[in-house]
Structure 1
């Protein structure tokens, strides 16, 4: 099957959306599907206002039209509500091509956190953007319920996964090489080796409470950093709020941006993973931390409610300090076992099930068929 994916989030960005798309594409291609991703790398870009690390495509219309004409997709999926996603939505609607969309971020809450614009205004924009989608793929049931309350009735569940070969409690090969065979360490990921050396050199005052992810205002990081907790607070990640928060909290260990191999080492050494965000729809870092045996402390909000819930792998409480201290008593085998129930293979299966099929008739006119795609992948020329 030829699947065309339009996204404003792509490498070199490092976030949950990019990670999800990367893993999804790997799964789809391994099953024999043809996947083409339209992303900002194909266009001239400008910095996103208030978030210059993110580049936005400038006038991507011609490129989107060309991709549709040349690739002749059998399914179109729109990932983001940015310039590329908007162009794909409007062109697909004009050509009467069915498509699906995804809801990755609590967009109204995100915009309010960064600009102060009331939720009701951005919720109206979301209803317009996603209302024409055959299916809006949403990572958790609690977010589906929220969107339905805001007038979106075409939402379906599309869960996430975690790479258990990368994220697990066992000592990595790099760690074993560093301990027993230093001569072989040059074969390992250099970023991973560097963080291992850093962790080994630290005199850690236990317990160690960790946050990993983007360091930005919408992540509500101050709610974690201001807590009165024993031991140490760690932060792994980067973002527009990092410099200011570093000055305000010099007692925190700031590890900066890390790749997945290095991040897994930090998860293994942390005692509790603290997730203060109230705007995430899922939170892949929750799965990554739990897969490494690190229990979670979070607010009882969309995302943690579904990912952690009543599993016993973490503690959800309106008092984040209470949650963090209680999570210290969770055996590390519990979050590891719970994380194992989330796989990228199941994520890909759900994605394929929710796609809206396109059949190309004479003169590239479309014949809409509402039936869902099932069975084996369609072979393409």
Structure 2
């Protein structure tokens, strides 16, 4: 099968990681995979057999124009955002799959969110674009809102790359302090502003703490709070960081899945997050606060730091959950869905 992944960019986002992993598995199985993107700037591995091409026109608007005007020489055209899927559908009838990583409405304020909703109605209604989502939560949302019948290939974690492996250097550098790990990202949906406010509240109440951040350049939460900024890291370094931190604080406002939480689970790092992460269960595998409730987040962080027995229990339950949601299982499910939705031509 000839497969084209059509997108503006491939970066260091969790959704990009899953797309590349699934496409790598399909390439390994003998399918011809082309990444047709204007920007590829990622630390995630690209399968050596991938063909890399650019769309007809450059830039974000050029990507959208190319999706509408350029017919793809492929048996399957994969798109992860609904605007691209809709535009691709007009020149590639019956060959487009929307692989939904998130609810695209949440990326926009008014009136952009209304445009996204209209595009979803068009995609799932008159255009009948098949959709695979990364979680049951997202599948249920599309079903209740648009009457869509989606398949689910739930995300998974590569347990050969993510497992408990504390770094002696990182642990020693803490000098007895408790390290709170955050994802720094400008995307408001990830809740970095909420994370900083939560850390400020916890630090103001005392405690021997330090802040760790991965991702984009981040401001310091408190002038007197030690802050270690790791920046963008590969999976091996992320494993060391997660395994060495005392907790991962991830106060997301909106998630299609929440892959970093699953990776923290696999590394044995206790997690404080929000109800936006559908598989996080309060008191079972994580401590979960309502979305945007900083006071509840701070209380849960303090509780987890103060109760080592609770932290150990949650870490153990998280590792168990991760072991049942591996990348291999996710990839196998995605591959089977592709074969069912787009059977090989005879």
User: TM-score, normalised to structure 2's length?
Assistant: 0.78
1:100 maps to 97
Structure 2 gap ranges (5+): 40-53, 291-295
Q: Is residue 258 of structure 1 aligned with residue 253 of structure 2?
A: no
Q: Is residue 305 of structure 1 aligned with residue 278 of structure 2?
A: yes
Written as runs of structure 1 = structure 2, the 5 A alignment for 1:216-255 is 216-227=187-198, 228-229=201-202, 230=207, 231-238=209-216, 242=218, 246=219, 249-250=222-223, 251=225, 252-255=227-230
Between stretches 23-32 and 159-168, larger displacement belongs to 23-32
- Counterpart CA distance in 1 for 2:143 and 2:194 is 29
Secondary structure in 2 matching 1:235: strand
> 1:314 Cα shift?
0.8
- Counterpart CA distance in 2 for 1:170 and 1:255 is 17
Please give the per-residue CA displacement for 1:210-245, whole angstroms capped at 9, x wherever unaligned.
122534323221212112224233221116xx4xxx
- Counterpart CA distance in 2 for 1:294 and 1:327 is 11
Matched-pair contact (CA < 8 Å) for 2:68–2:87: no
- Counterpart CA distance in 2 for 1:311 and 1:7 is 39
Q: Is residue 160 of structure 1 aligned with residue 165 of structure 2?
A: no
Q: Which has the higher contact order (CA 8 A, sep 6+)?
A: 1
1:314 maps to 286
Task: Pick from 119, 127, 131 the counterpart of residue 121 of structure 2.
Answer: 127
> 1:200 Cα shift?
4.5
**Would the alpha carbon gap of residues 327 and 215 (structure 1) be closer, same or farther in structure 2, given more than 3 Å must change?**
farther
Matched-pair contact (CA < 8 Å) for 1:78–1:89: no
1:209 maps to 180
1:81 maps to 82
> 1:47 Cα shift?
6.5
Structure 1 gap ranges (5+): 49-55, 180-195, 358-370
**Would the alpha carbon gap of residues 351 and 61 (structure 1) be closer, same or farther in structure 2, given more than 3 Å must change?**
same
Q: Is residue 27 of structure 1 aligned with residue 14 of structure 2?
A: no
Instruction: Count residues in correspondence.
Output: 310
1:340 maps to 323
Please give the per-residue CA displacement for 1:20-59, whole angstroms capped at 9, x wherever unaligned.
11111221122232222222241453368xxxxxxx7373
**Would the alpha carbon gap of residues 236 and 205 (structure 1) be closer, same or farther in structure 2, given more than 3 Å must change?**
same
